[in-house]
């Protein structure tokens, strides 16, 4: 049964890259077509998808040997789990009682223009009251919950390549 799914790791890495591009495209669609403005944590999650996708793209194009596949698999899992941690914080913020939600902060454009880069990144990763608002759901789960699922699946896909590579 598993032989059917046993593609070359290069193909799986490129499929992971395509999934990341698809997820980024969905985010752009929701922003442009549906008018959902991303909060700071949403932007951070998009950056994590981009970083994970770049790792997958480089792994797919490089087509390394067994040792390289394991390195790319770990790096891809680390970037995906970084995104999962951001998504987890976002889901946690959305489930806080209204009186415990942090204050809404200034917009990202304002922060980048008026705050040092380190402070802006810290504010982006902490989230604001904007991040606690649920604008969209599917099957009862918010967008950050679905991105958490996607990040965990990408991490699993990446780590599975360690066992998928040919033993030499």
CATH code, 88: 1.20.1550.10
14 assigned to some structural domain: yes
- For residue 133, being part of any structural domain is answered with yes
Global pTM? 0.79
Is 98 domain-assigned? yes
pLDDT truncated to tens, each residue of the chain (168 aa)? 445 556 788 888 899 999 999 999 999 998 889 888 888 888 889 999 999 999 999 998 887 888 888 899 999 999 999 999 999 988 888 887 777 666 655 566 666 677 677 777 666 666 555 777 778 778 988 889 999 999 999 999 998 888 776 654
Q: What is the largest CA-CA distance in the chain?
A: 59
Closest to 56 measured CA to CA, from 8, 11, 16, 25: 16
- Digit-coded pLDDT (tens) for 94-118: 887 777 666 655 566 666 677 677 7
Q: Is residue 15 part of a domain?
A: yes
139, part of any domain: yes
Residues in a beta bridge with 138:
141
Phi-psi region of 101 (alpha: psi -120 to 50; beta: other; left: phi over 0): beta
Q: Is residue 1 part of a domain?
A: no
Looking at the structure of the chain, the number of domains it has is: 1
> Domain containing 76: what range?
6-164
């Amino acid at each position: 049964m598993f032989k059917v799914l046993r593609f070359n790791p290069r193909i799986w890495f490129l499929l992971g890259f395509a999934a990341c591009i698809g997820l980024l495209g969905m985010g752009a669609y929701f922003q442009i077509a549906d008018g959902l403005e991303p909060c700071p944590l949403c932007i951070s999650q998009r950056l994590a998808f981009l970083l994970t996708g770049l790792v997958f793209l480089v792994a797919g194009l490089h087509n390394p040997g067994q040792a390289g596949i394991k390195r790319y698999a770990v790096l891809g899992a680390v970037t995906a789990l970084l995104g999962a941690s951001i998504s987890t914080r976002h889901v946690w913020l959305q489930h806080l009682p209204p009186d415990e939600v942090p204050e809404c902060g200034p917009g990202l454009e304002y922060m980048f223009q008026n705050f040092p880069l380190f402070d802006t990144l810290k504010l982006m990763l902490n989230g604001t009251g904007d991040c606690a608002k649920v604008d969209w759901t599917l099957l009862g789960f918010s967008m950050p919950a679905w991105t958490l699922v996607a990040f965990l699946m990408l991490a699993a896909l990446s780590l599975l390549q360690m066992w998928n590579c040919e033993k030499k």
